A and B are shown apart, each in its own frame.
Chain A
Amino acid sequence: MSFVSANWGDIVHRALLHAWLAGLPLFLGLLISLPVGWLAQRSRVLRPFLVVGSGLLYTIPSLALFILMPLIIGTKILDPLNVIIAMTIYTIALLVRSVSDALAAVPADVRQAATAMGYTPARRFLAVDLPLAVPVLAAGLRVAAVSNVSIVSVASLVGISQLGFYLTDGYERTYGTEIGVGIVACVVLALIFDLTIVLLARVLTPWQRVNAA
């Protein structure tokens, strides 16, 4: 407890950085996954390539990606941008399939009716497909959020400041309390992300909460 009170300001600071490094990629990854997932759902030919291909990205070890990133995009090794981009890639890896599945779950007769009412394809996507995809999409987003919070901590090995620091630092100093604080802080952060997504999905889907006839 004394470690927490003595380092409270530092913990909060690192937690905010951690949230930023995990949260921004979540948002960017979702933005990119939407069109890619949409394409995968529409094209029977492209689907296996897009879904399996993006899924394979997840198998790249995160440490390798953090180190390789500067070589690929020419940033400095300590640039947080490396982490942002790498985490965006992991988010895409998890979300393309979710988006594709979420869009596929929109009932065919609803989609057909929307087209027959005179929706243009783009407008239909925004007004009908996307709102109906929210429940499945939110489920995928929750997994990606928790995974991001966990993977980001690895970035402390390449010197990017966030909660992972307590794990590496605690390990070097063989100071169990510090490692414990790092773990608990990560778990709390992951829970906050998870809860936020659940609440957001609830607000976006009032129609899911009514009692069926």
Chain B
Amino acid sequence: MIRFDRVVKKFDGGSVAVDNLSFEAQRGEITVLVGPSGCGKTTSLRMINRMIDPTSGQILLDEQPVGQIAPAQLRRGIGYVIQHAGLFPHRTVLDNVATVPRLAGWSKAKARTRAHEVLELVGLPGDYAVRYPSQLSGGQQQRVGVARALAADPSVMLMDEPFSAVDPIVREQLQDEFLRLQRELGKTIVFVTHDIDEAIKLGDKVAVLEVGGRLAQLAEPAYLLAHPINDFVSDFIGRDRGYRALAFQDAPDFPLRPEPTVELGTTPAQARLATSDGWLLVVTDGRPQGWIEPQRITVPIESAMLHRGGTVARNHGPLRAALDAALSAPSRRGVVVDDDGRLLGTVRADEVLRAIDAAERPAIDPADIAPAESP
């Protein structure tokens, strides 16, 4: 566990970067520090591994003040990932990853064996090990950065905007893999980002910081969306809060309707017979591929002819996905699949809305409706 105890950081010239910050990052959880530039989130992160020392207050790592631990020794026990990965250009991927084990005094052979293991873990198989960082894409470099931080198996990881320098598609991949990895490893992670959507997606807890380094609110993402504590937090979280909160509520058993389907290669005549209304779902091996309008086709169905706009929701998955499936399907029938991606049936938007109506919201903490803020 990491505990900030009334931490203040003033820089030369008197500007206050972090103002009386107190919070806890729980063991095994991802705590995201999020806020606009100048809110002191990176400064706060760097105080944990003593890259910066606080002006007053202290930070405790499992109840031991970090100020009492020699910086180099402290840092070898804490994984660190930064925006552009910061890989050593003069070392191969393997030796980059082996850095901390080598610093900790492991033999070269043992450190390299371990480096191979962690590279495997982040999805970079053997032949990447001998390359230099300049030979990798941004996303791959970032994976190596994560592998390097994990190599000595630290219980704590600090991550400073690790995914913000890669393109959106790669970012989403990296985020998903990061969550999968964290489910396996259960590290105590402090994660800094300026992107509230990333914070909400990744955080077990999200700490919203204001300019000047004050903690505005620390809560679980669903709670944050439901009960932002003040205008700053609600503005920062942004629009569509009600809709985004649905991502944290699982759908109940919908009364799924059977959906007639055809396979690729079906002739126009057969397709017209298969459906009574304008749209027909095309599947391959039971998995939805897309929608088609039988009235408009003149040749057997090909993959390129399919309408791909409809999203697919997993059964009992988030309500947001179910509602989106219904709203995005050209037929207005949301496609619901099982865990293997096979079609179970469809659900309509009004049915999802009824489920939303019935779903419970996070109860507000009485402390959050106190009449006035303490000065």
Contact count A vs B, C-beta below 8 Å = 75
A113: which B residues are within 8 A, CB to CB?
A: 80, 82, 85-88, 145
**B103 x A210 contact (CB < 8 A):** no
Looking at B116-124, B132-140, B231-239, B342-350, the stretch in contact with chain A turns out to be: B132-140
**B75 x A115 contact (CB < 8 A):** yes
Q: A107, A117, A128, A210: which contacts B75 (Cβ < 8 A)?
A: A117
Check B91 for interface membership: any CB of A closer than 8 A: yes
**A205 x B88 contact (CB < 8 A):** no
Closest 5 pairs (CB-CB, A-B) = A113-B86, A118-B76, A116-B80, A118-B75, A109-B86
- New A-B pairs, 10, CB < 8 Å, besides A118-B76, A118-B100: A109-B86, A112-B82, A113-B87, A116-B78, A117-B75, A118-B75, A118-B104, A128-B88, A213-B134, A213-B140
Which residue of A has the minimal Cβ distance to B91? Answer: A207
B82: which A residues are within 8 A, CB to CB?
A: 109, 112-113, 116
**B89 x A132 contact (CB < 8 A):** yes
A116: which B residues are within 8 A, CB to CB?
A: 49, 51, 75, 78, 80, 82, 158
The CB with the most chain B CB atoms within 10 A, among A113, A114, A128, A207, is that of A113
Tell me the interface secondary structure of chain A in the complex.
helix
- Give bound CA distance, A116 to B73, whole Å: 10
- Give bound CA distance, A119 to B86, whole Å: 14
**A115 x B51 contact (CB < 8 A):** yes
- Separation in Å of the B95 CB from the closest CB of chain A? 10
- Give bound CA distance, A98 to B84, whole Å: 27
Check A211 for interface membership: any CB of B closer than 8 A: yes
B88: which A residues are within 8 A, CB to CB?
A: 110, 113-114, 128, 132
- Give bound CA distance, A205 to B134, whole Å: 13
Check B90 for interface membership: any CB of A closer than 8 A: yes
Check B83 for interface membership: any CB of A closer than 8 A: yes
Check A203 for interface membership: any CB of B closer than 8 A: no
Which residue of B has the minimal Cβ distance to A106? Answer: B89
Q: 25 A-B Cβ contacts within 8 A?
A: A107-B89, A109-B86, A110-B89, A113-B80, A113-B87, A113-B88, A116-B49, A116-B51, A116-B75, A116-B78, A116-B80, A117-B80, A117-B100, A117-B103, A118-B73, A118-B103, A119-B103, A120-B72, A123-B103, A132-B89, A132-B90, A210-B134, A212-B134, A212-B135, A213-B135
- Separation in Å of the B86 CB from the closest CB of chain A? 3
Which residue of B has the minimal Cβ distance to A108? Answer: B86
**A207 x B86 contact (CB < 8 A):** no
Given A113-B82, A116-B49, A213-B134, A131 and B75 contact (CB-CB distance below 8 Å):
no
- Separation in Å of the B52 CB from the closest CB of chain A? 11
Check B99 for interface membership: any CB of A closer than 8 A: yes
- Give bound CA distance, A88 to B99, whole Å: 37
Check B108 for interface membership: any CB of A closer than 8 A: no
**A112 x B86 contact (CB < 8 A):** yes
Check B131 for interface membership: any CB of A closer than 8 A: yes
- Give bound CA distance, A210 to B131, whole Å: 9
Which residue of A has the minimal Cβ distance to B131? Answer: A210
- Interface flags for B259-280 (1: CB within 8 Å of A; 0: not) read 0000000000000000000000
A119: which B residues are within 8 A, CB to CB?
A: 72, 103
CB contact list, A116-138 vs B, under 8 A: 116-120, 123, 128, 131-132
- Separation in Å of the B138 CB from the closest CB of chain A? 9
A114: which B residues are within 8 A, CB to CB?
A: 86, 88
B137: which A residues are within 8 A, CB to CB?
A: 213
CB contact list, B128-181 vs A, under 8 A: 131-132, 134-137, 140, 145, 148, 158
**B72 x A207 contact (CB < 8 A):** no
A118: which B residues are within 8 A, CB to CB?
A: 72-76, 100, 103-104
B76: which A residues are within 8 A, CB to CB?
A: 117-118
- Separation in Å of the A200 CB from the closest CB of chain B? 15
B136: which A residues are within 8 A, CB to CB?
A: 213
- Give bound CA distance, A138 to B353, whole Å: 69
Which residue of B has the minimal Cβ distance to A128? Answer: B88
Which residue of B has the minimal Cβ distance to A121? Answer: B72
**B86 x A110 contact (CB < 8 A):** yes
A212: which B residues are within 8 A, CB to CB?
A: 134-135
Q: B73, B87, B135, B140: which contacts A110 (Cβ < 8 A)?
A: B87
- Give bound CA distance, A117 to B83, whole Å: 15
- Give bound CA distance, A113 to B91, whole Å: 14
- Separation in Å of the B84 CB from the closest CB of chain A? 5
- Give bound CA distance, A117 to B88, whole Å: 11
- Give bound CA distance, A131 to B83, whole Å: 23
**B134 x A207 contact (CB < 8 A):** yes
- Give bound CA distance, A212 to B51, whole Å: 31
- Give bound CA distance, A119 to B75, whole Å: 8
**A205 x B90 contact (CB < 8 A):** yes
B103: which A residues are within 8 A, CB to CB?
A: 117-119, 123
A110: which B residues are within 8 A, CB to CB?
A: 86-89
Which residue of A has the minimal Cβ distance to B140? Answer: A213
Which residue of A has the minimal Cβ distance to B145? Answer: A113
- Give bound CA distance, A115 to B90, whole Å: 16
